[in-house]
Structure 1
Amino acid sequence: MRTIKGPGIFLAQFIGTQPSFNTLDGLAEWAAGLGYRALQIPCNHPAIFDLEQAAASQTYCDEVKGRLAAHGLVISELSTHLEGQLVAVHPAYDAAFDGFAPPALRGNPQARQRWACEKLQQAAIASGRLGLTAHATFSGALAWPYFYPWPPHNRQLLEEAFSELARRWRPILDGFDQQGVDLCYEIHPAKICTMA
């Protein structure tokens, strides 16, 4: 148990517009004051953590780590839950998940997926720059409609769905592997993933 960095907290649900919850330093001070020692930082709030800058700049990553260290905190993982979900959206859910994408990409599933894959690749690089060994994400729900269908499921549809998941996720998995970072899928009831 020498590798536990906690107790830790996932910041996404606490980010807001009020002071202490609208900056990384404010969130760090708040979390440290509650006794937390590690933060899981979401990558979809550039005002809190700028993923593009982190992927491009070791200096930025070192500064973030230093700011957190000043509060007695470390980063446990970065997270790309929303971005990961957009890697593999079943067409039946396009409208429901469009809100997770930037406005310019809404209504364009292919562009939305490309953007999501790019964000995951940036997260792999940023995780490597931060010295992290794990990253949290969702896998998408591409095959979910086939698990409780009527009439009974078609095995070929499931095989095609998992083949497509492998095609979409393999480059992302390879990107994290190149950085020496384990990609960890957070499984919820509607998340179906494959480890290609």
Structure 2
Amino acid sequence: MPPTRRAEYAAQTRQAILEAALSLFTTQGYFASRVEQIAGAARVAPATVYAVGGGKSGLLRTLIESAVNSPENARILAEIESATDPQGLIALIVATSGAKFGQWAPLMRQVVAAAPQEPAVRESMEIAHGGLRGGLRHTAGRLAALGALRDGLDAAQAADILWLYLCNAAYFVRTDDLGWPLEKSEAWLTAVLSRELLRP
């Protein structure tokens, strides 16, 4: 059954509000962005922002949950589960983490900055981190199932190593502190993680 015009309008309104919130959060920061500004950018009343998203914290949580639970992430997990080449799987998770960081770094910078002062933001950050950790656990588990992990390393330890190199904080160090472009990170990470995780 096709959606009604009212349902289509509601979906368009919700999307406009989320896009406005994402733009303002990334350009102004979480605390400097006001609901009235989000409403103005989305061309709706402030009350609509609260009704649709539950205010700023609700909008931020929705943005992050939508990213974590996206069809694209489901496809990536399916690729991980079906991988048969350990080296190819390392290359896949490195390339994927780099692409995701490039896409979401502007927002995550603001989330990390606001999280210490705002419990609701901290909860959203934990959702983002939980999504990444889940993908890394799947990767480590698949490498273990393929018998590809080096001697003395189990799936839990491999997941910790992946997190150490592929979490947002590690990417921030490489891009912000060291000035590495993502392409340099990708080549280096692929070599390092292959050495750290895989049998010779």
The answer to whether TM tops 0.5 is: no
Of Structure 1 and Structure 2, which has the larger fraction of its residues in strand? 1
Structure with greater Cα Rg: 2
Of Structure 1 and Structure 2, which has the larger fraction of its residues in helix? 2
